[in-house]
Structure 1
Amino acid sequence: MTQSESPPRFADIAEPKPTAEGLAAAYAKVSADLDRGDVRSAVAAWEHLRRAYGTWSSLVHLRFAQNTADPAAKADRDYADILAPEATDLENAVKRRLLAEPDQPGLAPLVGAHALRLWESDITTFDPAIKPDLEEEARLSARYTELLASAKLSIEGKTVNLAGLGPFAEHPDRGIRHEAARVGWTFFETHAAELDEIYDKLVALRDGMARKLGYPNFIPLGYRLLRRVDYGPDDVARYRQEVLHHVVPLVGRLLEARRAANGWDRLRFWDENLIDPAGNPKPIGDHDVLVAAAQAMFAGMDSRLADFYRSMIDGGFTDLKNRPDKAGGGFCTSFPSVGMPFIFANFNGTHHDIGVFTHEMGHAFQNWESRHQPNIDYLWPTMEAAEINSMGLEFLTYPGIGKLVGEDAADRFRRMHLIGALAFLPYGVCVDHFQHEVYANPGASPAERHVIWQRLERKYMPWSDYGDIAFLNKGGRWQAKPHIYGSPFYYIDYTLAQCCAMQFWVKSRQDYRAALDAYIALCARGGSAPFQDLVRAAGLVSPFTEGALADVVREAEAFLGG
C-alpha cells in the first residue's frame, strides 16, 4: 500500500441493493453509448456497473456464509441468486456487442486482448432459456451449504460442528481419531438420502442446461464456465495419469512408512490425518495469538506482504473464528469497487488453521497486487492460476513458519505440510475423474455414482481402508466435498496449482528472494493472461508438460528422505 492510499475499512463498504429494473436501465445507457459509437464511455460505465454489482454480490454471499441460520442473510442470498441470471444476461449482451465491434484492433488496447478471448467463451455459457435452471442450481447449492453447517456433533463431552471435529480427527490417541471419523461420517450417513437427492437434481439441471445451449453434456460447458481457454479435458486426463504414475506410488510408500513408524497393524482412514508420529504441530496459540504472530512472519518475508496484511487486520477484512451456523471451510472474496479482499475461515486449533490462513492470504494478496489491472476480468486469474497464488504462499512461508508453530516444531511442520501436499494430489485427481464420469453419464442413479467413486478410489488411493465406517465403505466419501456440489470441475485446479506451487518451493530452496519476487510479480499480473501463459511468465513449467510432476516429486522425495 502506498502512502497516498488510505486503507479502507470493511464496516464502511456498502452498495445499494440492485433491482432487475435498475440494472436494465443502467445497461440501456451503456447500449446507448455503443449506439453512438462512444465505445470508451460505454466500457467505462460498464466497468463501474460490474464492479458495484460484484461488491454487492460478494457482501451478500459473505454474510450468508457468516451465519447460515440468519433469515435476513438467507433472504438476501436467495434474492441475489434470483437476480444473478438477469445480470449475466445483461452482461453477455454487452460482451456480444463489443465482440461485434468492427474496430477489434482498436478495442483490444482498451479492454485487453485476453478479455476478448474470455468473453468469446463467456457468451457461449448463457441463454435466457436457462435462467430458471440457474436459480434452482443456486438454491440447491445453498441447501447443501446449510445442511453441512447445521451439523451439531457430540464427541468427548463437547458439541461441535464439522469444522470443530478437526482437533479430534488428528488427535494422537487413535481411539479418539476413530471416534471423530465415526461421528462425522454418521452425520453424512444420516443425511445420505438428501445428499443424493440434491446432487441428483444438480447433475440433471447442469446436463439440461448444457443441452439447451447446444453442448452434448455438461463437461464442455463446465470448462467454459471456468474460462479454460488454453486447455481441455484431454490435457487434464493426461495430467491425472501423471499423478497416477509419479505421485501415487510415493504417497503409498510414505503411508506405509507412517504405519510402520507408529506400529499399527494396518493403516486406517482415520490414521491418515496424523502425519507426524509425535503429533501434528499445532498453532502456538488461539486466534488472537496467531493473527499477531503472522504480522512478524510476513515482516520477515517482504514489506509488501507485511503492509498489506496489516491493512487487512486493521480494516476488519478477516473472519477466522469457528462458530455455530457459520458455513464450513475457508475462502477469499473481494469487493471490486473498493479494491480490497476478505478472508473467511474456521480456526479450530489444528495445523489446518495455518494452512487455510496462508492459502487464503495468498489469494488476498494477489487480488490486492492486481487491483490496478485495467478491467474487472483481470482482477482474478482463472481458478487454476489463482490457486498458484494461494498454494505458492503456503510454501513460501516455510522460512518463517516457526513464528506460527514455534521454532522447535518448524521443521516438523514443513515436513508435514509437504507430505500433505503430495498426499492431496491423488485425492484431488480422483475428485476430478469422478466428476468427468458423472457428467458423461448423467442418467446414472445415486447408487451407481457411489460405485463409480469406489472404482476410482481404488485406482488413485488404493491404501484407503475405512474399517468399520459403513458410509465410507459404500462409496460416500465424495459427499463431504462442497466443490463437487457447488463448483463442478473446480477441484482439479488445486492439483494443477500444487504442481506449480511446489516448483516455487524448489526455486525458493535455491534462491529464496528470486522465488518470492517471481511470486509477487505473478500476483500482480492477476488474470491478464491464460493459465499456461501466466505459468511460463513466472518461470514455471506447465503441469501439462511431460515431466513437470516428476521433477518436483524427485525433489520432494529427496527432501523427505533426508
Structure 2
Amino acid sequence: MAPMAPHFADIVEATPTRETLRADSAVIHAALDRGDRARALADWDGMRRRYETWSALVYLRFAQNTQNPKAKADRDYADALSPEAADLDIALKRRLLADPDQAGLAGLVGRHALRLWETDVTTFDPAIKPDLEEESRLSARYTELLAGAKLAIRGQTVNLPGIEPFAEDPDRATRHDAETIRWSFFDQNGPELDDLYDRLVKRRHGMARKLGYDTYTPLGYRRMRRVDYGPEDVARYRQQVVQHVVPLVGRLLEARRAAHGWDKLRFWDEALIDPAGNPKPVGDHDMLVAAAEDMFAALDPRLAAFYRMMRAGGFLDLKNRAGKAGGGFCTSFPTLGVPFIFANFNGTHHDIGVFTHEMGHAFQNWESRHQPGIDYLWPTMEAAEIHSMGLEFLTYPAIDRLVGADAAERFRRMHLIGALAFLPYGVCVDHFQHEVYAVPDATPAERHAIWQRLERIYMPWLDYGDLAYPAKGGRWQAKQHIYNSPFYYIDYTLAQCCALQFWVRARRDGAAALEAYVGLCGRGGSAPFQDLVRSAGLVSPFADGALADVVKEAEAVLAA
C-alpha cells in the first residue's frame, strides 16, 4: 500500500514575522533557563521545521511563476526575513555550544549535529544581515532574467529550457542555429550579467571580511557545512579528473567526430551523443509520468509506493512553461516529511535525467524523514547528490519504460558518456569560482579570461566556431549555481564519482547495489560526507584511484 500523505494544495504554513520568530525563540531560551534542555530542543526543532516549510513554499511558488507579483513580493519578504531568522538560529546554537555538558547534549542531538553547529556559528554575525538580504535580491534578479528569455526559432518562441530540443537535433544546422540564438540572449544581456556577478562577488567578499576571513572561499565552504574536507582535497580531486577522465572524454569525442564524418567537432555537436539521434522519452509529459510508475514498480516496491504517493499528492511540477524558473530541484516541507519535485520537461532525454535525479533526492528525503532532528533530514549537498545521481544509474534495468525497448541500450550508453563528459565541465566550474573569489576585484573581462584559460585545461577539445559570446569566455554565465549557489557545483562531480561506483556494483549485483543505496538514503545527514560514503561501501572521491577504477570499467563498456 502506498504511503499516505496530504495533497500539496492543502499544505499551509503561517507566515512568520520578526515578532513571532523572536517570541518563539524567547520560549526556547526560557526552557533553557529553567534547565529543561529536552523541551527546548524539541521546541526549537519544531520552530525550524515550520519556518523551513514556509520558506520552501515561498521559494517554490516564485520558481513556478517568476512573473507573478505576489510570488515576487513574498520572495522579497522571505529574503528580508531570512537574516533575522539566521540571527536567532545562530544565537541558540552559540548558547547550546557553550553548555558545559557537551557530552549530554551530543547524546540528545548527535555529535555530528554539534559539528554542524560549530561550523554554522562561524558563518553569521548581525553585521552581515543587510549583505545577506542584498545577496538574495541579486540572486533573484539573475533567476528572473534567465526565466524571462524569449527565443525565436523555427517559427516558435521558447524559453531557455525550450531551446534544448533544437540544440540536440540530429540536423547540424538546427543545432548551430539553436546555439547561436541561445548565446545571442547572453550576449544581449551580458552587461547586466557581468554587473550582477560583480556585485555578488564583492558582496560575498565583504561578508567574509566582516566575519574575519581573508577571502570568501573559507566562508563559502562553511556555508556548505563541509566539515571533513577542504579546498586542498578538492584541488587534488580536480587533478584526478584531468588525469583520468579528460583523456577518455577526448577519445569519445574524437570517435563521435569520425563516426559523423565531420572535419571538426564544434561546440554545437557535443550535445548529439548518439549517432542515430539522442533517444527521447516515449511520449509527452503525461505519458512519461505514467510510464515512470511502471519503471519504479519493476525496480523496487519501496520506490514504487513512494512515487505513487508523490504523483497522487500533486508533489510534481514537471511541465515547462513561460515565466517558470529554469532547471530542476527538489525541495521539502519538514513539518510533513514530504518532498516536492520541480523540473522543466522539454521532450529530450534530459527530461529522464532530471526526473530520475530529482526523484533520488526526494526518495532520500522521504527515507530519512524519521531521523531525530532537522539537521539530519538532508545530508550536506555532495552526499545528497549521490542519491540523485545514483538513482540515474540504478534505473538502468527498467529504463526501457521511459525510452522504449529499442532505445534502452542506446540511452544507457548515451547517459554514461554524458556522465563522464560532465566531470571536466563540473570541475572547471568549481576551479573558476576558486580563482574568482581569490581576486574579488577582478574586472568582468578578467573573469572571462579566467574561464577561457580553465576551459583549455579541462576541455581542450572545445571549438566554439562562430559563437562569439562563449568563445570570449562567457559560457559560465549560463550556470545558475555560479551566481546563486557558490561552491555548490563540485558536489555534483564528487557525487558522480560515487554514483559511478554504484553503477559498477550494480553491473555485478543489482539487488545488493539497490539495498546499499536505500540504506544510504535512510541515513540522511546523520554523518559527514566521507563517513556516509564509506557506510555505503563506496570509496571517497578524494582517495587515490577512486576515479581510475570507474574509468577503467567505462572504457571496457564503451570500448574507448
TM-score by length of 1: 0.99
Q: What CA distance in whole angstroms lies between the structure 2 residues aligned with 1:173 and 1:464?
A: 20
Aligned with 1:175 (options 173, 176, 181) = 173
Alignment pair present for 1:264 and 2:233: no
Match of 1:171, as an amino acid?
D
TM-aligned CA deviation for residue 12 of structure 1: 1.0
1:382 is matched with 380
Aligned with 1:233 (options 231, 234, 252) = 231
1:81 is matched with 79
TM-aligned CA deviation for residue 417 of structure 1: 0.1
Deviations 1:466-520 (A, max 9, x none): 0001101110000000000000000000000000000000000000000000000
Alignment pair present for 1:373 and 2:359: no
Q: What CA distance in whole angstroms lies between the structure 2 residues aligned with 1:460 and 1:7?
A: 45
Deviations 1:377-403 (A, max 9, x none): 000000000000000000000000000
1:6 is matched with 4
SS of 1:106 mapped into structure 2: helix
Q: What CA distance in whole angstroms lies between the structure 1 residues aligned with 2:246 and 2:75?
A: 41
1:207 is matched with 205
1:67 is matched with 65
Q: Greater CA deviation, 106-115 or 53-62?
A: 106-115
Alignment pair present for 1:189 and 2:187: yes
TM-score by length of 2: 0.99
5 Å matches for 1:501-540?
Answer: 501-540=499-538
Match of 1:105, as an amino acid?
A
TM-aligned CA deviation for residue 6 of structure 1: 2.9
Deviations 1:328-366 (A, max 9, x none): 000000000010000000000000000000000000000
Deviations 1:146-187 (A, max 9, x none): 000000100000000000001000000000000000000000
Query: 2:202·2:440 contact (CA, 8 Å) conserved in 1?
Result: yes
1:348 is matched with 346
1:304 is matched with 302
1:545 is matched with 543
Query: 2:4·2:309 contact (CA, 8 Å) conserved in 1?
Result: no
2:448 is matched with 450
Match of 1:419, as an amino acid?
I
Q: What CA distance in whole angstroms lies between the structure 1 residues aligned with 2:537 and 2:285?
A: 36
Query: 2:383·2:529 contact (CA, 8 Å) conserved in 1?
Result: yes
Alignment pair present for 1:407 and 2:405: yes
Alignment pair present for 1:148 and 2:146: yes
Q: What CA distance in whole angstroms lies between the structure 2 residues aligned with 1:200 and 1:7?
A: 44
Aligned with 1:94 (options 87, 92, 95) = 92
1:114 is matched with 112
SS of 1:276 mapped into structure 2: coil
% identity of equivalent residues: 75
TM-aligned CA deviation for residue 315 of structure 1: 0.2
Query: 2:379·2:525 contact (CA, 8 Å) conserved in 1?
Result: yes
2:18 is matched with 20
TM-aligned CA deviation for residue 211 of structure 1: 0.4
SS of 1:154 mapped into structure 2: strand
2:552 is matched with 554
1:333 is matched with 331
Aligned with 1:320 (options 318, 325, 329) = 318
Q: What CA distance in whole angstroms lies between the structure 1 residues aligned with 2:212 and 2:151?
A: 45
Match of 1:216, as an amino acid?
D
Deviations 1:9-28 (A, max 9, x none): 10111100000011001100
User: Pairwise CA RMSD of aligned residues?
Assistant: 0.7
5 Å matches for 1:29-44?
Answer: 29-44=27-42
Query: 2:119·2:227 contact (CA, 8 Å) conserved in 1?
Result: yes
Deviations 1:6-65 (A, max 9, x none): 322101111000000110011001000011111000000000000000000000000000
Match of 1:328, as an amino acid?
G
Deviations 1:190-240 (A, max 9, x none): 000000000000000000000000001000000000000000000000000
Q: What CA distance in whole angstroms lies between the structure 1 residues aligned with 2:378 and 2:328?
A: 17
SS of 1:172 mapped into structure 2: coil
Q: What CA distance in whole angstroms lies between the structure 1 residues aligned with 2:200 and 2:119?
A: 23
SS of 2:548 mapped into structure 1: helix
Query: 2:5·2:338 contact (CA, 8 Å) conserved in 1?
Result: no
Q: What CA distance in whole angstroms lies between the structure 2 residues aligned with 1:7 and 1:436?
A: 43
TM-aligned CA deviation for residue 112 of structure 1: 1.1
Q: What CA distance in whole angstroms lies between the structure 1 residues aligned with 2:279 and 2:127?
A: 52
Q: What CA distance in whole angstroms lies between the structure 1 residues aligned with 2:10 and 2:398?
A: 33
1:440 is matched with 438
- Gap regions ≥5 residues in structure 2: none
Q: What CA distance in whole angstroms lies between the structure 1 residues aligned with 2:87 and 2:506?
A: 45
SS of 1:541 mapped into structure 2: coil
Alignment pair present for 1:247 and 2:245: yes
Match of 2:526, as an amino acid?
S
TM-aligned CA deviation for residue 419 of structure 1: 0.1
2:484 is matched with 486
Deviations 1:245-270 (A, max 9, x none): 00000000000000000000100000
TM-aligned CA deviation for residue 537 of structure 1: 0.2
Alignment pair present for 1:130 and 2:128: yes
Query: 2:172·2:269 contact (CA, 8 Å) conserved in 1?
Result: yes
Over 3 Å off, 4+ runs:
none
Query: 2:167·2:268 contact (CA, 8 Å) conserved in 1?
Result: yes
Alignment pair present for 1:474 and 2:472: yes
- Gap regions ≥5 residues in structure 1: none
1:500 is matched with 498
Q: What CA distance in whole angstroms lies between the structure 2 residues aligned with 1:421 and 1:557?
A: 13
